[in-house]
Amino acid sequence: MLPERIERATIYHFVTGFYARVQEHPRLGPVFNPRLEGHWDAHFERLTDFWMTVLSGVPAYKGNPFQVHQALPGLSPDLFEDWLGLFAETARDMLEPALADHAVEKSRRIADSLQQGLFFRPASAS
């Protein structure tokens, strides 16, 4: 059962912990680090807003994830599994079990949606 109230501090701690791992990851780091170098702190706040909205319904996030990720050089469909695996590992390490499960489920849905929007190109009808 999810906590009645999800604390922003909990989500911020998780976000910073997760992205510390992303920065060190051999495949993800080279994609995210050049884009966010010098801007990680502001990004942590934005990501905390995003995950607060996703996990608790608090309308904190204002933005367009598709647009942001379209502009990310080096992002490829195969990196989503790396990101999801690291996300799930970090969630289980840092969040209480019910919240971790909820976050992992939501992350998979978001990743599927992003992948469809960013990379799915149906064959044109002939």
Task: Give yes or no for a contact between 8 and 48, defined as CB atoms under 8 angstroms apart.
Answer: yes
* pLDDT of 126 over the 60 cut: no
| Residue 114, domain CATH | 1.10.490.10
Question: pLDDT tens across 49-71, in order?
Answer: 999 999 998 888 888 777 777 76
Range of the domain at 31: 8-118
Q: Is residue 39 part of a domain?
A: yes
pTM, rounded to two decimals: 0.87
Alpha helices in 1-126, H assignment, sequence order: 8-24, 29-36, 40-56, 65-70, 79-94, 97-119
Question: pLDDT tens across 67-119, in order?
Answer: 777 767 788 889 999 999 999 999 999 999 999 999 999 999 999 998 988 88
Q: Give one word for 74, left, alpha or beta, with left for phi > 0 and alpha for psi -120 to 50.
A: left
Round to whole Å and give the CA distance between 81 and 62.
26
Q: Is residue 3 part of a domain?
A: no
Say how many domains are in the chain.
Answer: 1
